[in-house]
Amino acid sequence: MDASTSEEPPPGSTDFAGWKRAAELGRLDHLPLEAIFAALQDIRFNIDFGLRNILAKALSDRTYKLLRRQVGRNHPNGGADIIDRAHVQVFEALAQPASADAKGYRQAFVARLMFRLKDAIAKEARERRIPDETAAPRPRASQRQAFTADEHSAAEAGDADNDDAAPSKSAWNPELLDGVRAAEQRIDIDRFLETNVPDERKRLAFRLFMDELPFKSKKSASIAKALDIDEKTAREWIEEVQALLKEKIGDLK
């Protein structure tokens, strides 16, 4: 990312004159964010409001742009709440120089920012999911017909012998996989997932499914183990996303 793009080294964090000159020369867009954060933290009390606000504006704009690029409009309020949360945390950290965040921002600004953003997104997803936690949505009957009756009975019985319940095994309806492959060619799967599957756990399950991971396995990693869910749930989640995909394909026909 653009943490360090300037050839000329930035002024020291307490070099008031150096930062004033950098601002006058319009260099703030090119100086490392770590350096701007450190300067704002170290000299903000002892500089005139003009320079302080210029530094704050540079830090604010560049931080916001980085955040906006990572957050889709599919989140509530277009993702603005998540971005605002991560954005304000940067400025709150200025007042806590001994905190891990403040040290992290001074050391590797973008890495710390992205970490905090991940946390904000995860928190938002958790809060959004709480009302649904007690009653996990089950796929509609029409969505479930893609699986064979045999597969269902195996899954619902918690078939312990089904060591590698992979999509490519007999339990999987090949037509459905063809449907996915066809969908891959027709639509942007990633954009589809982002806009049609709000539950990040189901998106992750589907991405692992696309990595050709088995639903369950005693020998290797599986979707169920990675997500700490049972095989039946893993299958239902994938089935749900697949049904949505099929609908999408139908819409495109």
Partner 1 sequence: MTARPQTPDRDEVLFAFHEACPRPTAEQIIDWTSRYPQFANDIRAHAAVARDWDARRELSAEEPSEIELARAYSRAINALYEADAKAAASPAATQTFQDILAARGTNARALAQEVGISRGVIADLIGGRMHAPVGRRFLDAVCRALAITHAVFSGAIEIALGRPQPVLAKAASTPTVNARSYEEVIRESGMSEDQIRYWLDED
In this chain, which of 6, 70, 173, 196 binds partner 1, going by CB under 8 A?
A: 70
Residue of 22, 171, 193, 243 that binds partner 1 (CB under 8 A): 193
| Binding of residue 184 to partner 1 (CB under 8 A) | no
- Among residues 163 and 200, whose Cβ is nearest to partner 1? 200
Judged by CB under 8 A, the chain residues 198 through 217 that form the site for partner 1 are: 200-201, 203-204, 207-208, 211, 213
Task: Choose the stretch contacting partner 1; rule: CB under 8 A; options: 20-28, 143-151, 193-201, 236-244.
Answer: 193-201
Unique residue bearing structure tokens 């619902």: 156
Q: How far is the CB of 107 from partner 1 (least distance, A)?
A: 11
Rounded CA gap, 120 and 113, in Å? Answer: 10
Tokens linked to 124: 């938002």
* Cα–Cα distance, 107 to 110 (Å, whole number): 9
C-beta of 216 vs 232, nearer to partner 1: 216
Residue 33 binding partner 1, by CB under 8 A: no
- Given the rule CB under 8 A, which of 24-32, 96-104, 138-146, 161-169 is the region that contacts partner 1? 96-104
What residue type is 228 in one-letter code? D
Applying CB under 8 A, among 104, 162, 216, 243 the residue interacting with partner 1 is 104
**Binding region for partner 1 (CB under 8 A):** 13-14, 16, 40-46, 52-53, 56-57, 59-61, 63-65, 68-70, 72-73, 80, 83-84, 87-88, 90-92, 94-95, 97-98, 100, 104, 111-112, 114-115, 118-119, 121-122, 125-126, 188, 190-191, 193-194, 200-201, 203-204, 207-208, 211, 213, 221-223, 225-228
